[in-house]
Each structure stands twice: as C-alpha cells, then as structure tokens.
Amino acid sequence: MLGWLGRDKKKPGWLAASVDAGGLDFAHARSKGAGQKMAVTAYGTRPLPKDSKNALQKAAHDMHFNQYQCTTLLRPGDYQLLLVEAPNVPSTELKAAMRWRIKDMIDYHVDDATLDALDIPVDEGATNSRARMMYAVCARNEVIQGCTRAFQDADIPLSVIDIRETAQRNVAALYEEPGRGIALAYFADDWGLLTITFRTELVFARRLELGVKQLSAANAATRKDALDRVALELQRTFDHFDRQFHYVAIAKLLVAPQPGQGELAEFLRASVTPPVETVDLRDKLAFEDTPPDPDVQWRLFHHFGAALRSESKAL
C-alpha cells in the first residue's frame, strides 16, 4: 500500500513476507522477460520460536532478506477497501480529496488514517457522464507504524505494504482474456475473498464470512449449507456486478487452491453462471525449485500474488 523507503540495488523482483501464528511465510518472484512465465525462486514457511525476541531477525538474516525488495501483506481485519466517487481534482490533491470522501465511512478520525487509492477501469465506449469510481484503501496509522517497526527491528528492508485484494488481482491477471474480466474466489480458514479484475486491474472485491473450515466440515449438513451459501452469495454478486459494470463480461470464475480435496469447484459448476475453473499456480508460474502442492499454494496464495506486483501499479 505504501512505497516510501529508498531502495538500494537489490535482486530483481519482489519478496513477499509476513508473520503469523504458523511462522514466517515468504515467496519471491521475478520476471524472466517478455512472453515468459514469471519465475518463483523461493517460497516457504519458516517456524519462529515463540520464546526468542530475535527470531524474525535471525530468520531474515539466514535467508538474506536484505538482498531483496520486500513487501508484506496486511491482515484482512487491519484495513478497509472502500468504493468512492473519484474526486475531480488534480492528481496532487487526490489523497486530500479522498480523505474528505471517506471521513464518514470509517469508525476513527480520518487524521488517524493512512490512505492510498486504486483506479477502476472505465467503460471506454460510454457516452454518458456517469461518475468515475475509485477504491480507497485505508488503515489506522498505528497499524502501518506497527508493521513498519516490526520489519525495521528485524532488519528487513520493507519497501511496500500490500493488501490481499491486490495480491489476488495479480494472480487473476495471469488468467485474463483480452476484453473480458476474471473472477477469483479464495477461501482461508474462516473467511473468503472474491475479486473481479479487468485489464489487469481490480474492479470489484468482496469479503465472504465463511471459509475452508465450513466448506470442508466433517458434518455433511454443515458442509452442504456452506456450499449453498457460497453459491448463492457469488451468484448474487455476479448479478449485481453485471448491473453496475455492464461493460465487463466475466469470462470465468477461478477457484483458488484449497487444502485437501475440496468439492467447492465442482459444486459451483452447477450453481453459478460463469464457467468455473480451478487454479493451479504450477500452470502459470515457473518454479525454480520443487513446485508447491495445492496445500502450500493455498497457504501462500497471497504471498505468491504479492510477489508478482508490478512497479507500475499503485498497490
């Protein structure tokens, strides 16, 4: 979300890293040139001892993180993605104007917010004066400062703070067809995220209040109820999206990797309008080490996406 630190000469590409209860998750990707698959040179999860104050610093030192351009991902509950009307102001005044737009949409004072903005592709054939929309990404200053401080204390050269929606956008862009949009659904343990991209940009994003725990529940009735809820929410979203963004035809719905043998994709094929395909990153990325199985792809999905970021994108 932010790129404010000076960058010394680093290895090409981006290293995405974050810390959670499972340890240090990371993935690094770089371009191999026009027309070639992006190369993933490293990925994985490194356990961090809970009784060591310097565990993250030691891990970063052992893996030579200081040689890379680094980005990290905010946790889903640490930020908001808000759809707002784009202010009709010069670019130099955009963020100030966006603050005015969102001040009544957040539950804390706008002066305590760190803000960035994302453009939404417009209907190039439109002749009416419909207002242009943008996404405002905002987080509490203390969240951004805490994230930055943790990486600084570990001697990790953090250049950018990213969000799940834009990381997911980067993966969806690998599957785009000219002139058509791509929907992508990902489910973590207890939440889901649906994104729709068009011309490699984020057009729509929606959080879903259930995840893999419900979709793979041992109880058949619980599992069926979760599958029904997902199918209903996705189809309602596609119907709403078609009315709001009629100029974006969704080519397909991609279902991100899931742990185990999930039945979600097969269920959705009979339940939603767009054709449904499953994502296997081994088809789209060149892994220089052992390619990850679906369980690893699921755990590191947004890290792979964040590592695919382009310098030309705001987030």
Does the pTM surpass 0.85? The reply is yes
Q: What is the mean pLDDT of residues 179-187?
A: 97
Residues in Cβ contact with 94 at an 8 Å cutoff, skipping those fewer than 6 apart: 87, 117
Please give the Cα distance from 263 to 267 (Å, whole number).
Answer: 6
- Amino acid of residue 85: E
The neighbour count for residue 311, using CB atoms within 10 Å, is 8
DSSP 8-state code for residue 27: E
Q: Specify the pLDDT at position 116.
A: 94
Per-residue pLDDT reduced to its tens digit, 137-156: 999 999 999 999 999 999 99
Residue carrying structure tokens 């979760």 = 226
- Amino acid of residue 294: P
DSSP 8-state code for residue 257: -
Q: Specify the pLDDT at position 131.
A: 76
Residue carrying structure tokens 């109880």 = 219
Please give the Cα distance from 155 to 27 (Å, whole number).
Answer: 18
Q: Specify the pLDDT at position 261.
A: 67
Per-residue pLDDT reduced to its tens digit, 3-60: 444 445 789 999 999 998 779 999 999 998 888 999 999 999 999 988 777 899 999 9
Q: Specify the pLDDT at position 197.
A: 97
Q: What is the mean pLDDT of residues 234-257?
A: 96
Q: Specify the pLDDT at position 4.
A: 40
The percentage of residues in the chain with a pLDDT greater than 70, rounded to a whole number, is: 94
Q: Specify the pLDDT at position 6.
A: 45
Q: Specify the pLDDT at position 8.
A: 57
Mean residue pLDDT of the chain comes to 91
Residues 92, 117 contacting (CB under 8 angstroms):
no
- 314 pLDDT band, cuts 50/70/90, is very low
Per-residue pLDDT reduced to its tens digit, 194-240: 999 999 999 999 999 999 999 999 899 999 999 999 999 999 999 99
Angle between helices 55-62 and 141-153 (to 10 degrees): 60
Residues 70, 154 contacting (CB under 8 angstroms):
no
Residue carrying structure tokens 């290895």 = 11
b or e along 112-135 (b: 16 or more beta carbons within 10 Å of the residue's beta carbon)? ebbbbbbebbeeeeeeeeeeeebb
Pairing assessment for the beta strands 14-20 and 23-30 based on DSSP bridges: antiparallel
Please give the Cα distance from 189 to 166 (Å, whole number).
Answer: 20
Q: What is the mean pLDDT of residues 278-289?
A: 96
Weakest mean pLDDT among 26-35, 47-56, 96-105, 165-174: 47-56
Domains of the chain: 78-142 (3.30.420.380), 172-279 (3.30.420.40)
Pairs from 61-67 (Cβ < 8 Å, separation ≥ 24)? 61/155, 63/26, 65/15, 65/17, 65/155, 65/156, 65/157, 66/155, 66/156, 66/157, 67/10, 67/11
